[in-house]
Amino acid sequence: MIEEYGDLLDSYDLSYWELDLDLKVVYANSRMKEVFGDIVGKSCSDVVVCLQDECSNCPIGQVLAGKPRTAGESMARTWKGESKWISHSVLPLVDENGLITGVRGIIVDITGCQKRQDWWKHSEHHYRNLIEEVPDVIFSLDAFGNFTFVNNQIESLLGYRVETMLKTPFQGYVAPDHVERVGTLLTLTPESIWDEEIAIVAADGSRKITRVRCKGLYDDTGSILEIEGVMRDRTLHKSLEKELKASKSALIEKIKIIDDLYEHIVQSGKYKAIEEHTAEVAHELRQPLAIVGGFARRLERQISSENKPDLERQRQYLAIIISEIQRLEKILDRLVDFTKRNAVAKRPVDPNELIEYIIDITQSRMAEKSLDLVVNLGSEVGEMPIDPGRFQQLVLNLVTNAIDASPVDGKIHLTTGIAIPSDKALKAGHFGGPGFFEMKIRNHGPAIPPEALKNVFNPFFTTKQHGTGLGLTVCKKIVEDHSGTISVKSDDHGTVFTIWLPLTDVAVNGK
């Protein structure tokens, strides 16, 4: 009977043995002998060499202690020296009086199963680490479009907690104007990929632009079981892309202005006025253009990179680009002003009223430096022939220059009145009229060195760290277009600009 039972277990590739109370092997089937050798008559410990401290919890010992049936798993070594994981089920052997005479057991080699289980646990651990570390959102949807899984990146992207999103529809997070795009998601065909750029509404109501790629899993009938997808944040990318495009358009427009400006200078025959300053012009324009180009290329590489975007660095690049374009705009504005030779459109205007307007619009700049503006506008000044727009530009340039030159908490004096030139000046031919409107603007900043003072009205000369050096050149041209004169004096008490404009429409030297 025992042999028949052992043969039956052989057919199922199971090892069977019986032991007496002294733990001596009294029977082993063929499969048991194949694995552990000729073991009849040997003790249990000679047959199965446990590689773990299992004796205290040995299934055989537990049955002999009175348990009706036990089972356990352990690492063992065969007679060939091989290490194997075994599952050992043990039952008691009893006589007709119900007394235990020994034990019988079935041993199953579970080495392959254990290895697969260990591999699965290891793979699952690495898989979970992977999907939690990637910068993208990884998710799964059921056949109805509801979330069945989403990694923690969703919280930083949209502000929703993972547990609140499970079993909720993906479509419910899509911006209303993009819902129609999601309609095709649940109709994916095998081997096809759903790839769309869609807007998602975050928990705080903000709009996030994302790129979503999905692929379906199907059963044998072709019915969709699950959809697996990846969501990547493209919000900053789209914003920077838009701003970079706008910056590029602005830059192209500025270059066009430079081309038009050059054409105007050549055609008008006035290129000689700035030909000696060509190198300075090229330097002034090349520097911001080079900076813009360099940072635009860096920004483009950042945007195109598949790595997690460095938002702070991209903001810095964009701020530098915008700043340099603004500097370029100022250079171009000054160049345009410098080359304009439009005839002045004079009409009777009270210059004091135009000055008061400029004072009003520069109050905020003066307040930033806590400057005190002392104004004394002569009541004897009435209407005189001037171009209002050009005159206001003249006053604005000089006031701005005085603000820049003044120390914090300093003073600026602005006075106007009527001036009568001396006989010496009249005889020298410097003036073409008996009376002039006089305007003085004084700041109490540092003195301008004598060598610099001689060049303050020259194009592209400047003592400032930033600037084109065209502001005072434009002032001189406006004054001369009004047949007037402008002069400057500077000492330790400050710098004063004096403007004289004729009270009547009489050209200088009778021209």
Q: What mean pLDDT do residues 415-426 have?
A: 70
Q: Over the stretch 157-211, which tens digit does the pLDDT of each residue have?
A: 899 998 899 999 999 999 999 988 888 888 888 888 899 888 999 999 999 889 8
Any idea which fold 347-510 has?
A: Heat Shock Protein 90 (3.30.565)
Give start-end residues of each CATH 3.30.450.20 domain in the chain: 2-115, 134-233
- Domain 237-339, CATH class in plain words: mainly alpha
Q: Is the pLDDT of residue 47 over 80?
A: no
Q: What is the mean pLDDT of the chain?
A: 77
Identify the architecture of domain 134-233 in CATH.
Answer: 2-Layer Sandwich (3.30)
Two tokens at 492?
């330790």
Longest dimension (CA), the chain: 153
Chain-centroid distance of CA 234 in Å reads 10
- Considering the chain, what percentage of its residues have pLDDT values greater than 70? 69
Q: What mean pLDDT do residues 90-116 have?
A: 80
Give the highest mean pLDDT range of 122-131, 160-169, 255-264, 336-345. Answer: 160-169
pLDDT at position 416, please? 93
2-115 CATH:
3.30.450.20
Which conformational region is residue 146 in: left (phi greater than 0), alpha (psi within -120 to 50 degrees), or beta? beta
CB 270 within 8 Å of CB 341 = yes
Q: Over the stretch 422-438, which tens digit does the pLDDT of each residue have?
A: 555 555 444 455 678 99
Two tokens at 10?
């052989």
Could you tell me which residue, 116 or 449, shows the higher pLDDT?
449
Give start-end residues of each CATH 1.10.287 domain in the chain: 237-339
Q: What mean pLDDT do residues 386-413 have?
A: 90
Q: Mention every residue, 6+ apart, whose C-beta is less than 8 A from residue 212.
A: 194, 195, 196, 197, 198, 229, 230, 231, 232
Low-confidence winner among 20-29, 49-58, 240-249 (lowest mean pLDDT): 49-58
Residue listed under structure tokens 């050059």: 262
Beta partners for residue 107, in sequence order: 15, 88
Q: Over the stretch 434-472, which tens digit does the pLDDT of each residue have?
A: 678 999 999 999 988 888 777 777 665 555 544 444 567
pLDDT band at 242 (very low <50, low <70, confident <90, very high): low
Q: Over the stretch 489-504, which tens digit does the pLDDT of each residue have?
A: 998 889 999 998 998 8
Q: Is 351 exposed, middle or buried (0-12, 13-18, 19+ CB in 10 A)?
A: buried
Chain-centroid distance of CA 187 in Å reads 35
Two tokens at 177?
């104007």
Q: Over the stretch 274-333, which tens digit does the pLDDT of each residue have?
A: 554 554 555 566 667 777 777 777 777 777 776 666 777 877 878 888 877 777 776 666
pLDDT band at 270 (very low <50, low <70, confident <90, very high): very low
State whether residue 97 is helix, strand or coil.
coil
Length of the chain counted residue by residue: 511
Give start-end residues of each CATH 3.30.565.10 domain in the chain: 347-510
pLDDT at position 468, please? 43
pLDDT band at 56 (very low <50, low <70, confident <90, very high): low
